[in-house]
Structure formats: structure tokens, C-alpha cells
Amino acid sequence: MKLTLSEIARAVGGALHGNGDKMICGISTDSRNIKEEDLYIALRGERFDGHDFIEKLKGKCAGVITEEMVEGQDHILVPDTTRALGALGAYWNMKVAPAITVGVTGSVGKTTTKELIASVLRGKYKTHFTSGNLNNHIGVPITLIRIEEGCEAVVCEMGMSGRGEIEYLTRLVRPNVAIITNIGTSHMELLGSRHGIMEAKLEIIAGMEKGSTLILDGDEPLLRSEEVRELLADFNVIYVGFGTANDIYPMDIYKASDHISFDVIAKDKELRVTVPAIGDHFIKNTLFAVAVGLVSGVADEVIQAGLLSYAPSGLRQRIYEKGGVRIIADCYNASPESMEASLKVLGSYEGRRIAVLGDMLELGSLTENAHQTVGKLAVENKVDRLFTYGKASYHILLGAAEAGMDRNMIFNYIDANALAEKLRAELQPGDTVLFKASRRMKLEEIIALCDFMETEK
């Protein structure tokens, strides 16, 4: 980003105090990581206030966006720095004007779908996409500000916990292609029902022009309702899913130990794709990516090559071996739907199957039943040893026992060190072990305590 301080002031509706001709080449919201040409945005959070660090930044940055007057520093005064960050992201996005802007939301699978889409698009276009989990009211504007001039395609992930959040984000991004991966049960505590979750996800159309493309989970009855069809009558709607009634669906699925291959059947074509990942959920995520490629004019062979280049990121389904034990590290997040998907992956392996499952959060009144259902799913997927971690996950134990699992093969822990010690004693070469829980349970710390962290290649 290269803008003068005066142009930024106009973009965010703030009052400029200082040299308006000064050139800004980047932004920072972290006082510990700032460059001389950066603009510091003093955000207020629940546990911090960026204004507390402005004084020590004098002479170390090009200027400040602040809610308070600053002496001896070029600054832009605004009523709300968080909203100013959003306005700046929206302005820069509009100024660069990428031809293709993709917004991705949904209860689960957002990040994987985003990365698969980016893998497809960058074979033809100069592509920018959300880094990590920068998918909220702070992360999305930062993603937009990081768009380079000349960028042709942007893929933005949009997360939410309540109503109004997706509407705010989509008005910044203004996608011409949007994806709703599914309607699950995450955030049930705040939104009350799956219908409420669907309504919150459909806010994504608030930032889209009529005639834009919406790609939806066609296997979700809520998204097939007459209510939704009427709401989306002015958009180009494409349904993807496993059912053959969808506009795009898979056929002739082949599952190997390290990849999935299948035919993608669309209205006017058919192409064979391979993804270096496993699990049925990756099939649907791949269908979304193929759909985006097709509507964006990406050639079949470029789509195929892009999917082959995909690699999971961060704490999401990383599969590797350590000491003869196969590790499935899926510690980024968890919901009943993603737990089921991961347990199916575990169940596809030979040898002893061991599941380390922690609490799923933000399920409200569904908490007990959802965890018990996961316990039953562990039995259905032939888990040989079950370790639960956390208070809510005790109900996973109860569900597994009710489904007939030997109680001597089920272990419940609330202490990470004790769990790691038991796992180190229990696991042996040839085992496959799944680690899965909501992010705040930090199961990666247990993997580290077990000395099962993936070594750098």
C-alpha cells in the first residue's frame, strides 16, 4: 500500500494533523513490529489499548491513526480506530480493483476452501488471499491492505460469531464470487438455531452486486429452501455437493493413503482432479475451488495443476509420521461436523486407531448431546483407544461407552501433562493417532509434550 497521509485521512473520514504529503507504505497494529514508513493504527481491545504505546513510537513510524490527540507526531484523529482500519481496507481494495474477488464463509471448511481456491486461481491470475486466520473485523481489513498493486484476484475468508459481522466484512470486500461452505452448529450459543446461523452466513450478499455468483452447499436443505431461492433470485447461484441434483458433483471417487482422485461433473464439462489430502470433506471443499475456477475462466489443466499444489497449513489436518506413529494433527478448530470428518479419516487407516478428542466450544445448549454424539461416532469409526481432554469432553466418553466401547479403552483427562505421559506410554509403531479439539484447548501443546511435533523438512 502506498498512499499519502492526506489521502488516508479522506478515506477513513478523519481529521489530519501534520504533513499530508507524507507517503505511507504500510500499516501496523502492533507497536512491537513497525517500520519507519508504516502508519500505526491504535486499536482498542478487551485486554489492551493501542493508544498506550503511541508515545514510545514517536520517530519510529510515519504517523498514527488515533482516537486521541497526539503531540509531536503526524496523526489522523478518528472516532473509532477499528472502523477506520476497515474503511482503509475497503478503500485500498477499491483502488487496486482486482477483477476477481472471492468471499468465503461457512461453519467449517472456510480456510481449507480458501486455500484450495487460491491454489486454483494463482495458476492464471496474480492472486492474494487471507493469511492464516485473519478472517475477522481486524484480519479482513489487514488482508485487503496487503493487496499488491496489479493484483488480479483476491480470496478473503470471513468468520463470524454473531449477526451483523458478515455483513460488515462483505461490504469491505465486495466479492463478485461468494461461497457458503455449509451451515453447521458452531456459534449456536449466540445464534440460537441452524436457521439463525444460515441467516448470518447469507449476510454475505449485502456486499455483492446483483448478478454476482454465489456457490452454495447443495446438500444442505436449508440452502435449498424457497425462502433462500427468493432471497437469491438476482444472483447466479451454483450448487455443489455429493448429490447428483447439484450443478457440480463428484463421480468415480478413488481414495488413497495420501490423496483423493475423482471426476468433477459440471453442466458442460467433466474433469479428473487429484488433491493431496484425505477425507470426504476435502472432496466438497475441492468442488468449491473447481467451481470458482470454472466461473473465473481458469483452464481445466490449470485447475488440475493448482489442486495438486495444495498443502494444508498451520494446525489443520497435518498428517505425518514420528517414531513409527502416524499423527493426524487437526488442532485448529472443532465442531460436531468437523469431528465427524476427522474421525472418518482416522477410521480409514489400518492398525490401531487412537483418538485424542478435546472440548468443542460455543455450542450452548447442544454441548452435552454434541459431545455424546462424537463419542458414538468414535465407535462407528472403529477407534481402538479414546482419550478425552477437558470438562465437556467427558460427555464424549459417555457417548462412546453407551455405544459399546470397552470402558477400559476410554480415558478422560483435564491435565495436559498427565495425558501426554499416558500417550507416551501407550502409543507404539503402527498406530494412527488423531488430535482434534477447539482451538482454545491447544492440543498442539500435548503433541509437543509427547515429542510428536512434525520435524521441518
Q: Which of 1-15, 244-258, 324-338 has the highest mean pLDDT?
A: 1-15
Report the pLDDT averaged over residues 447-456. Answer: 76
For residue 388, the cross-strand partners are 357, 412
- Cα 105–Cα 158–Cα 311 angle in degrees, nearest 5: 75
Q: What is the pLDDT of residue 410?
A: 95
Q: Among 47-56, 151-160, 319-328, 369-378, which is the least confidently predicted range?
A: 319-328
With beta carbons less than 8 A apart as the criterion, state whether 435 and 330 touch. yes
Q: What is the pLDDT of residue 126?
A: 97
Looking at the chain, how many residues does it have? 457
First-residue to last-residue Cα distance in the chain: 33
Q: What is the pLDDT of residue 337?
A: 84
> In 341-373, which positions are buried (b, 16+ CB within 10 angstroms) versus exposed (e)?
bbbbbbbbbeebbbbbbbbbbbbeeebeebbbb
- Per the model's pLDDT, the better-predicted residue between 194 and 455 turns out to be 194
Domains of the chain: 3-78 (3.40.1390.10), 97-308 (3.40.1190.10), 318-449 (3.90.190.20)
Q: What is the pLDDT of residue 313?
A: 63
pTM value? Answer: 0.79
Q: 63-69 — which CB contacts under 8 Å span 24+ positions?
A: 63/5, 63/18, 63/22, 63/24, 63/39, 64/39, 64/40, 65/8, 65/12, 65/14, 65/39, 65/40, 65/41, 66/42, 67/42, 68/42, 69/17
With beta carbons less than 8 A apart as the criterion, state whether 343 and 383 touch. yes
Q: What is the pLDDT of residue 456?
A: 44
How crowded is residue 311: how many other Cβ atoms within 10 Å of its Cβ? 9
Q: What is the pLDDT of residue 334?
A: 83
SS3 117: helix
pLDDT-based confidence at 316, cuts 50/70/90? low
Measured CA to CA, the distance from residue 7 to residue 120 in angstroms comes to: 35
Average pLDDT, the chain: 92
Q: What is the pLDDT of residue 267?
A: 87
Q: What is the pLDDT of residue 24?
A: 96
Backbone angles phi, psi at 91, to 5 degrees: -65, -45
The share of the chain scoring above pLDDT 90, in percent, equals: 76
The contacts of residue 115 (CB under 8 Å, 6+ apart) are 129, 310, 312, 313
- Per the model's pLDDT, the better-predicted residue between 206 and 313 turns out to be 206
Report the pLDDT averaged over residues 201-212. Answer: 97
Q: What is the pLDDT of residue 393?
A: 93
421-445 confidence digits (pLDDT tens): 999 999 999 999 999 998 889 999 9
pLDDT-based confidence at 306, cuts 50/70/90? very high
Q: What is the pLDDT of residue 366?
A: 86
235-281 confidence digits (pLDDT tens): 999 999 999 999 999 999 998 877 899 999 998 899 999 998 888 88
Q: What is the pLDDT of residue 315?
A: 60
Report the pLDDT averaged over residues 190-202. Answer: 88
The share of the chain scoring above pLDDT 70, in percent, equals: 97
pLDDT-based confidence at 188, cuts 50/70/90? low
60-105 confidence digits (pLDDT tens): 999 999 999 999 999 999 999 999 999 999 999 999 999 999 999 9
Report the pLDDT averaged over residues 335-340. Answer: 86
SS3 15: strand
